[in-house]
Amino acid sequence: MDQVPGSPQEPHNAQSGDGLPGCYRHPDRQTGIRCARCEKPICPDCMVSASVGFQCPDCVRGGSGTGHSAHAMAPRTIAGSTIAANPRLVTMILLGINVAVFAAVYFGDRLHSDLVARFDMIGLALDPALGGLVGVADGQWYRLITAVFLHQEIAHIAFNMLSLWWLGPPLEAALGRARYLTLYLLAGLGGSALSYLLAAQNQPSLGASGAIFGLLGATAVLLRRLNYDMKPVLILLGLNLVFTFLWPNIAWQAHVGGLVVGAAVAYGMVHAPRDRRTLVHIGTCVVALLAIIAVVWVRTLQLVG
């Protein structure tokens, strides 16, 4: 394109007789090209090729150089989340919370502070110490989630935390922090809800096993989606289910409930169409939560109706 030199004293938006403005960085250079994003006039030396048209250097520095924001063009996981610098952060926080609660229970028992009886998962039972009824059916809904972070035996928390550390980071990296945390909590709630529905009303249960089984189910769904070898995770899942039903004093309902919810939520997250990811992800989580609420509501009516 021909350039007509202008006066160095020409103002920023100076125009020549033919109406062409001056470049926003070089006012003495008239141009008919404008930035595709901010529409400032730009000369050939300031033009940066974009997916559509040209952009000015300021917009390129503030975005991706393609007409989209830098955030929109950041690398994404299979679930559509941005890639985090530390893919273990949420897993480490969950580990810390579980260990801290276990320490409170461990030392609380020696101080006669019965945290387990106050926060474990139980449907409806008479507590002699309080002289009244306790449980989810009595309005203590918080037990559905507090029990997920509650452990009483060293072997129990050790196994669950090792499983969390093994299964958690790959899922957190693949799903993103918010989706991973949501899946973990929904799986834990799903396990508590099925225990509430099927177990004896006065049978207490506690532990992160429901959430862990949810992560195991989610891992199987993710590996299937990526066409990876599923034999290791299927063998692990099979062994855990065998122990679930054959080992005494295990709340199998929590394991199965967590597994089903975790797999279902993960399926919605990794198979959502790219152009409707957010809508499908929110819808999947809302449906899972509503199903959990429905189960709890039905069981509560059975116990107090």
* Chain segment 36-81, per-residue pLDDT in tens: 788 888 888 888 876 667 788 888 776 544 444 444 445 567 787 7
Quick check: 199 pLDDT over 50?
Answer: yes
Retrieve residue 60's tokens.
Answer: 């390129």
- Hey, which bits of 65-119 come out as E strands? none
Q: With a cut of 90, say whether residue 148 has pLDDT above it.
A: yes
Bridge partners of residue 55, in order along the sequence: 48
Q: How far apart are CA 88 and CA 303, in angstroms?
A: 41
Q: How far is CA 100 from CA 35, 97, 105, 167, 200, in A?
A: 55, 5, 9, 20, 29
Task: Please tell me the predicted confidence (pLDDT) of residue 127.
Answer: 83
Angle in degrees, CA 174, 175, 181, rounded to 5 = 130
- Residue type at 258? G
- Mean pLDDT of the 116-130 span: 88
pLDDT band for position 11 (50/70/90)?
A: very low
Residue 96 has pLDDT above 60, yes or no: yes
Between 92 and 275, whose confidence is greater?
92
What is the mean predicted confidence (pLDDT) over 189-208?
A: 95
CA 160 to chain centre: 19
The two tokens of residue 67 are: 């007409």
Which domains does the chain carry? 20-62 (no CATH), 88-304 (1.20.1540.10)
Cα dihedral angle (169, 170, 176, 180), rounded to 10 degrees? -70
Residue 78: HSE in the Cβ half-sphere, 13 Å Cα cutoff: 20
* Rounded mean pLDDT, 209-214: 96
How do residues 101-121 score in pLDDT, each as one tens digit? 999 998 876 665 688 889 999
pLDDT above 90 for 201? yes
